[in-house]
Structure 1
Amino acid sequence: MNVSIPTLEQFREESRAGRLAGRVRLQLPCNLTDFPAEIFSLADSLEILDLSGNALSRLPDRLPELRKLKILFCSDNHFTELPRVLGQCKNLSMIGFRNNRITHIAPEALPPLLRWLILTGNQLSALPSELGHRPYLQKLMVAGNRLQALPQELSLCKNLELLRIAANRFDVLPEVLFKLPRLSWLSYSGNPFCSHNEQTALADTPVKQIPWSSLSLQQKLGEGASGVIYQAVWQSVTPIPVAVKLFKGELTSDGLPISEMAACMRAGIHPNLIKVLGKIGDHPEGVNGLVMSLVDASYRNLAGPPSFASCTRDVYDDDLRLSFSEMLSIVSGIAGVAQQVHANGIMHGDLYAHNILLGQNGDALLGDFGAACFKPTAAAHSHALEKIEVRAFGYLLEELLERYEGEATAGATFATLTHLTALRDACLHIDPTQRPVFTEVVARIRTA
């Protein structure tokens, strides 16, 4: 159970009374300027410590006494470097220091079991080459910094699957990306080398301008890192129920909302995409927004996002089972939309089940373009990036095959499942050059 304690005085009282004994998780948004020594009373149990939203600038040398600590969050504090003491925490695997003032990472600050590192929204101009010597690293999130290059040693991170380098200062796409055999989810929007494509998409994509005055907002449908979605009525020729997404304009872990908006418009119309009806150009506060088709309330997310334990893999409901026709419908629909998105020069960047809405009979809609990127015009880079995303599709196909419910003995069904299993293996090939592109994926599904 997570314990969030809003004041330091209350925390100390709880600690003195022994009511925190044995706690595994602790959250202290208490305007802290110093690390409370009472936390060390949990040395034998504490695994997850969240000190985000305080005014901390250092951590104590005693931190390794928290010998079971696996996850540490210190986002929205005042750190100017990643604390070196972290490297002495032998079980620490997940570190989050988002939105600090970090300019430097010393090699000794990287713990040996590092698996997930979040440094979004800092002031880093370089990453240490020692990252390449952290073999368990799966997830690296450094959007919104000042990076111009990635260390070549990063190619040694054979388990790195998710990388966020959006909104930095890269003049060229780093070649080291194509040496990462398991890289599956990548975002790099908002860098100088791709900003022209994003601006062109915003300016030239033929999307209808919808006056703000013609929209009547109703209830909120959802909120993510990049914006808020409302149900609304569009007073066109006749009143039309729609969804309106108003972008926040702030940096997210995946990138910049303006990049997401550009990608949504350029993606085009497809049966497995939520249709963009127009963009809002005259919001009274200058907020960017899109008007989209309203998705039927019966649609649900195919899965939940990754957990701390799963790191890069989605979490499905235990009781989710798919019929053969449902599974095949999802697979063919998402492969088809991925093919179109890439043909239009876009990489989705977050091809996950948790970004897929599932309706009746396997009808599927791919959403959330928050990590989407515009691909360079060079054919070699374009194909190499596509094969990174093909690996993400391979993971999705693997997960759906695991949830197929039915006998695989009937001739046609057995042959198709065998065909899809072979396609899964091809998409997940450890050598990126040996993976198919989406045109081939779609063709193989059609002939299954």
Structure 2
Amino acid sequence: MHTLEQLRAGALAGARHLKLACGLRDFPREIFELADTLEILDLAGNELTTLPDDLSRLTRLRVLFCSGNPFEVLPEVLGRCPALQMIGFKSCRLHTVPDAALPPTLRWLILTDNRIETLPAGIGRCTGLRKLALAGNRLTALPPEMAACTSLELLRIAANRIAAFPDWLLDLPRLAWLAYAGNPFCATLDAAWQAEAHTRPVPWVALATDGVLGEGASGVIHRAAWSAPEGARAVAVKLFKGEVTSDGLPASERAACVGAGSHPQLIPVLGEVTGHPADTAGLVMALIDPAFRSLAGPPSLDTCTRDVYPADARFTPATALAIARGIAAAAAHLHQRGIVHGDLYAHNILHDGEGRVFLGDFGAASFVSPADPARARRLEQMEVRAFGCLLEELAERTAPGVLCDGLAALAARCLGAVPALRPGFDEIVRHLDGLAVAA
């Protein structure tokens, strides 16, 4: 975090990254003194409603965050910024996105939690767009021109007012991570899942929390002692924040966690919190051995859609195969039950270093009706591409040999540009079992 005083005193000369959150109502003109070096500008959490018409003087600016400011219109000057690739205007008051506001260099656009009813047709010109977050708006449809966004890999359209599923999305050759729950076209299905997601009630008074294990967009996970009638046990308790996240709605996550049922590679749900003093929803889950850790970190500003692994991350062929097989089996189980995970990423996988894994984080989960097998198949083939990314990452970090070559070859099939030609998860599991036998 920087200060306005530092900026005005010239103490930030040569800065590549500037972050100011000090109640700004006007754009500080002193920022232009950094035009020769500034690449990342974070003005989130201020009181800005406009940006200067000459913002394009920041010719090296790649990333701009303005989330939490009361903008009502996405500034058109953004479209004239020659190097701008990432734009974040989450939780503003946006109702209008002008055509001119979208720069041709755009890769990553975050407009979550606003009041946007329509997107401009010009978004179809953003052919390098890879990541688009639109959850929690008032969209009734997506412009068909978006079909030209063939680089799009991650899309969040949950919690909008979209009347019909845009089936052309599933023809996009690189789309791998999609969240769409909470729209009118799936309202009946969502409601059924939420109503049928029954699990054991756990009174809040029977839980004694003892520290935070982690926090995500949708909630906080606490370590807790559960005084259950059959005996005390250590558990994890996830308390939901109850608001729209970048992925979607906590209610959908809860329904998916419970509805997923039992599987060796899914963290068991033991019950649901009742009687919380703030009426907060929560789930009681099995406490995972601390030997398990995240397989990778989430994508960075530079990698955009691909996870960041530790520099020294390496896997034996047997470990890589076990990880891949476990996650493929979990994904097959979910799709058999009508659940699209939506965020099948290494950073949502816990592993113990020896091949044992758990797939977590259902914040982007959506549901598909068994009465619509054609769409269910296409959604599965979309998610197979996400699995292909994981396979590719594992193969890159695995010792050369027959197994590594087999993983790479399977990754190529899963990443195929024609979604309809990709294998399903059941076939992938059988293929991985065959690799294990051959090894």
Q: Compute the TM-score of the two structures, normalised by the length of structure 1.
A: 0.95
Structure 1 residue 254 and structure 2 residue 241: aligned?
A: no
Among 6, 17, 30, the residue aligned to 2:22: 30
Secondary structure of the structure 1 residue equivalent to 2:205: helix
Residue 403 of structure 1: aligned partner:
397
- Return the alpha-carbon distance in structure 2 between the equivalents of residues 20 and 213 of structure 1: 51
Counterpart of 2:239 in structure 1: which amino acid?
L
Among 63, 79, 91, the residue aligned to 1:87: 79
Deviations 1:346-398 (A, max 9, x none): 00000000000111411111000010111134111111111110000000000
- Return the alpha-carbon distance in structure 1 between the equivalents of residues 244 and 394 of structure 2: 32
- Return the alpha-carbon distance in structure 1 between the equivalents of residues 417 and 8 of structure 2: 53
Structure 1 range deviating more: 333-342 or 129-138: 129-138
Residue 412 of structure 2: aligned partner:
425
Deviations 1:286-318 (A, max 9, x none): 111100000111111000000000000000001
Counterpart of 2:429 in structure 1: which amino acid?
V
- Return the alpha-carbon distance in structure 2 between the equivalents of residues 166 and 16 of structure 1: 42
Deviations 1:373-426 (A, max 9, x none): 111341111111111100000000000001102x51xxxxx1x44433221111
Change (3 A) 1:222 1:64: same
Among 165, 171, 174, the residue aligned to 1:173: 165
Residue 33 of structure 2: aligned partner:
41
- Return the alpha-carbon distance in structure 2 between the equivalents of residues 261 and 30 of structure 1: 36
Among 27, 50, 72, the residue aligned to 2:64: 72
- Return the alpha-carbon distance in structure 2 between the equivalents of residues 265 and 194 of structure 1: 19
Aligned residues: 433
Among 288, 291, 295, the residue aligned to 2:281: 288
Identity %, equivalent residues: 52
Residue 411 of structure 1: aligned partner:
none
Residue 142 of structure 2: aligned partner:
150
Aligned residue runs from structure 1 range 237-386, under 5 A: 237-376=230-369, 377-386=371-380
Residue 438 of structure 1: aligned partner:
425
| Conserved? CA contact 1:244–1:291, under 8 Å | yes
Among 116, 122, 134, the residue aligned to 1:130: 122
Secondary structure of the structure 1 residue equivalent to 2:318: helix
Among 11, 14, 18, the residue aligned to 2:6: 14
Secondary structure of the structure 2 residue equivalent to 1:147: coil
Secondary structure of the structure 2 residue equivalent to 1:195: helix
Secondary structure of the structure 1 residue equivalent to 2:354: helix
Secondary structure of the structure 1 residue equivalent to 2:69: coil
| Conserved? CA contact 1:96–1:118, under 8 Å | yes
Among 386, 391, 407, the residue aligned to 1:392: 386
- Return the alpha-carbon distance in structure 2 between the equivalents of residues 251 and 274 of structure 1: 23
Deviations 1:9-34 (A, max 9, x none): x52x3234321100000111010111
- Return the alpha-carbon distance in structure 2 between the equivalents of residues 250 and 206 of structure 1: 22
Residue 201 of structure 2: aligned partner:
209
Secondary structure of the structure 2 residue equivalent to 1:30: coil
- Return the alpha-carbon distance in structure 1 between the equivalents of residues 71 and 198 of structure 2: 45
- Return the alpha-carbon distance in structure 2 between the equivalents of residues 168 and 93 of structure 1: 25
- Return the alpha-carbon distance in structure 2 between the equivalents of residues 269 and 15 of structure 1: 55
Counterpart of 1:343 in structure 2: which amino acid?
Q
| Conserved? CA contact 2:392–2:407, under 8 Å | no
Counterpart of 1:152 in structure 2: which amino acid?
P
Deviation at 1:119, TM superposition (A): 0.3
Counterpart of 2:368 in structure 1: which amino acid?
K
Structure 1 range deviating more: 176-185 or 346-355: 176-185
Deviation at 1:238, TM superposition (A): 1.0
| Conserved? CA contact 2:113–2:134, under 8 Å | yes
Counterpart of 1:424 in structure 2: which amino acid?
A
Structure 1 range deviating more: 416-425 or 312-321: 416-425
| Conserved? CA contact 1:150–1:176, under 8 Å | no
Deviation at 1:158, TM superposition (A): 1.1
Structure 1 residue 192 and structure 2 residue 179: aligned?
A: no
- Return the alpha-carbon distance in structure 1 between the equivalents of residues 286 and 31 of structure 2: 50
Where do 5+ consecutive residues of structure 1 fail to align?
409-413
Where do 5+ consecutive residues of structure 2 fail to align?
none
- Return the alpha-carbon distance in structure 1 between the equivalents of residues 189 and 242 of structure 2: 19
- Return the alpha-carbon distance in structure 2 between the equivalents of residues 30 and 210 of structure 1: 43
- Return the alpha-carbon distance in structure 2 between the equivalents of residues 447 and 302 of structure 1: 24
